[in-house]
Amino acid sequence: MKEIILRNKERPVLRATLRLTPRDLNLLCWINSVGFVTINHITQKLKISQPTAYIRSKKLVTHHYLLHERIFHGAAGIYRVTHDGVHVSGSPLPALRKISLASYHHDLLVTTLNLQLLNRFGGSYVSERELRHGDGLNCFGKIGHTPDSVLLLNDKKIAIEVELSKKSKRRRSEIFNYYLKNFDYQEVWYFCGDREIENQLKPFLEKAPFIKTYPIQAFLSDQGSANE
């Protein structure tokens, strides 16, 4: 699996020239919890205009609490939290060290989906990064399979899975059996990239009605229309 190792590009921090608000600190914690985000994610998270998001993000970059990088030529840049940003925000997770090129677009889509789920249903969520570091609720995912996130909604714990490609039958069965034996999750929602993936899941759905599938692009498009 190809990965980009994020070199230490951080320069000496400009001290006492930027007053960080609680909103800034919460933003830094959130970005570090998911790893990296785009400006659109920041806009959605803070519910502010894109120009305002750019201004605030630029200040955090200038004072070395955030790093702005372009992973792919011609694609939108991403923001990640620096070591100083982690320290000042009190984030329990370490600063992100590497980005997997294989899961780059998947990871961004998971963040987009999580924000849309919160906008539609409310509640809160625990990211995969939090789950893997043992800082999620009750350390979900510490043994066995780790979902892409967990939606906490009305006393329910809903495992969220974003499926953009087919898995082998063996791997699919392993994940399915994990959810059958794991009573931490009341439901599992699969957001599928295409109909072929949905069809691959059908045999498992017949045995587990708590697992549901949704076409991810249709869900995001419907939610986008509702926000206009």
167-189 residue pLDDT tens: 898 999 999 999 998 888 999 99
Measured from the Cβ of residue 185, the count of other Cβ atoms closer than 10 Å reads 20
Q: What is the pLDDT of residue 207?
A: 86
Alpha carbons 108 and 86: distance in angstroms, whole number: 20
Checking if the pLDDT of 142 tops 50, the result is no
Residue 9 forms part of a structural domain: no
For the CA atoms of 216, 217, 218, 221, the dihedral, rounded to the nearest 10 degrees, stands at 120
Q: Does 117 share its domain with 179?
A: yes
Q: Residue 136 has which token pair?
A: 């999620």
Residue 110 forms part of a structural domain: yes
Q: Does 178 share its domain with 160?
A: yes
Contact 63, 13 (CB under 8 A): yes
Instruction: Please say whether the dihedral angle defined by the alpha carbons of residues 83, 13, 99 and 50, taken in this order, is positive or negative.
Output: positive
Higher pLDDT, 12 or 101: 101
Q: What is the pLDDT of residue 1?
A: 47
Q: Does 120 share its domain with 90?
A: no
Residue 221 makes CB contacts below 8 A (sequence gap 6+) with none
Q: What is the pLDDT of residue 182?
A: 87
Domain that holds residue 140: 104-227
CATH number of the domain enclosing 193: 3.40.1350.10
45-93 residue pLDDT tens: 999 999 999 999 999 999 999 999 999 988 889 999 999 999 999 999 9
Nearest to 223 by CA among 115, 75, 111: 115
Instruction: Report the alpha-carbon angle 217-209-163, nearest 5.
Output: 30
Q: Does 89 share its domain with 201?
A: no
Q: Does 132 share its domain with 75?
A: no
Q: How many domains does the chain have?
A: 2
Residue 6 forms part of a structural domain: no
Nearest to 42 by CA among 108, 94, 89: 108
Q: Does 79 share its domain with 150?
A: no
Q: Does 57 share its domain with 161?
A: no
Model pTM? 0.86
Residue 7 forms part of a structural domain: no
Q: Does 89 share its domain with 21?
A: yes
Q: Please say which residue of 96, 130, 147 terminates a domain.
A: 96
Q: Does 136 share its domain with 164?
A: yes
Q: Does 152 share its domain with 205?
A: yes
Q: Please say which residue of 53, 69, 96 terminates a domain.
A: 96
Residue located via tokens 């974003």: 162
Contact 69, 62 (CB under 8 A): no
Residue 4 forms part of a structural domain: no
